[in-house]
Amino acid sequence: MPANFRAELVACFGQPVAENPTGAMQEAAFRALGLNWRYLTVEVTPERLADAIRGVRAFGMRGVNLTIPHKVAVIPLLDEIARDAAVIGAVNTVRREGDRLIGENTDGKGFLRGVRVDAGVDPKGKRAIVLGAGGASRAIVTELALAGVSDLVVVNRSVEHAWHMAEELSAKTNREIQCQPWRGVYRVPGDTDILVNATSIGLFPDVDGMPPVDLRDAKSTLLVCDAVFNPPETRLLAAARRRGLPVLDGLSMLVYQGVIGFKLWTGEDAPEDVMKNALREALGIER
């Protein structure tokens, strides 16, 4: 049988992307399964996004990840948007189906899988508070609403922005989403079951940042989650650990959204442990 030197291509488009470690875990997964696939990390400016998507079509690429600032701008450039991505209003993963490019969103699903698998918590019937109203928040809030939480509150400095998001997602998920202003230090209510930092506070290189929250009223079972993956031990999670609270770091969300994306692209079950270890190695984190 003649050799086949043509690799299947996937990529990440964003600006900036130099510190995005997704390629390390996806390449490790391809090697583990013996797949001749390559993951490219490509800096794409907003004005060149349409050209980049045309390149995906021209090169016959199998898919791409989208990161800041392209998750919303890419939508009109695609042939179809999956239902959950349409509800969220953002796309972070594109898969090829024949000649068509289909937008998906794996961020919220990755977060939810981490909550269920790594933290061992079923969100159904729980009271959840999400800090922030940006792109990560939209995905997380949507998936928590669809998972059947009993109460869902978005806390944000811009109340108007939070209300706009909450009203839109409430209509799409048929679940009530409340909003509260973030004025000074936010005191987390004692009946909260899940607290999620969906802001970028604490993200490298500003590792000394911590969301201004007060955990003194937290019950012992409060699960404190952070969407920030670098560093995985943020100041928020460290503060929660000191109180003996269970925590879930952003590496969980990053790995599982990648696991879901791998399956969408290749049709194969992803080697989760390989991907987790590759990500930790790429970020210089001890296992």
- State which H helix or E strand residue 64 sits in: strand 63-66
User: Above 70 in pLDDT, residue 3?
Assistant: no
Please check whether residue 149 lies inside any domain of the structure: yes
Same domain? 192 vs 263: no
160-179 tens-digit pLDDT: 999 999 999 999 999 999 99
Range of the domain at 90: 8-107+252-282
Cβ atoms of 227 and 111 closer than 8 Å: yes
What is the distance, to the nearest Å, from the Cα of residue 179 to the centroid of all Cα atoms in its chain?
A: 21
Would residue 71 show up in a list of annotated catalytic residues for this protein? yes
Which CATH number does the domain housing residue 59 bear?
A: 3.40.50.10860
Give every strand in the sheet of 247-248, ordered side by side.
178-181, 151-156, 127-131, 194-197, 223-226, 247-248
Look at the chain and report how many structural domains it folds into.
2
58 found inside a domain? yes
Please write the tens of the pLDDT for every residue from 224-276: 999 998 888 999 999 999 999 999 999 999 999 999 999 999 999 999 999 99
Q: What is the pLDDT of residue 230?
A: 82
Considering the domain architecture, whether residues 241 and 264 belong to the same structural domain is answered as no
pTM of the model: 0.90
Shared domain for 225 and 258, answered yes or no, is no
- Residue 3 located in a structural domain: no
Does residue 115 lie within any of the structural domains? no
Q: 53: helix, coil or strand?
A: helix
What CATH number does residue 147 fall under?
A: 3.40.50.720
Q: Which helix (H) or strand (E) holds 148?
A: none
Alpha helices in the chain (DSSP H): 22-32, 49-59, 83-88, 107-113, 135-146, 159-173, 235-242, 250-266, 272-282
**164 with 216, same domain?**
yes
**Whether residue 270 sits in one domain with residue 234:** no
Q: Are residues 60 and 161 in the same domain?
A: no
Q: Is the dihedral of CA 265, 269, 274, 280 positive or negative?
A: positive
- Whole-number Å distance between alpha carbons of 39 and 63: 10
Q: Of these residues, 71, 109, 126, 276, which one is catalytic?
A: 71
Which DSSP letter does residue 114 get? Answer: I
Alpha carbon distance 193, 200 (integer Å): 22
Do 152 and 260 share a domain, yes or no? Answer: no
Asked if 152 and 102 sit in the same domain, the reply is: no
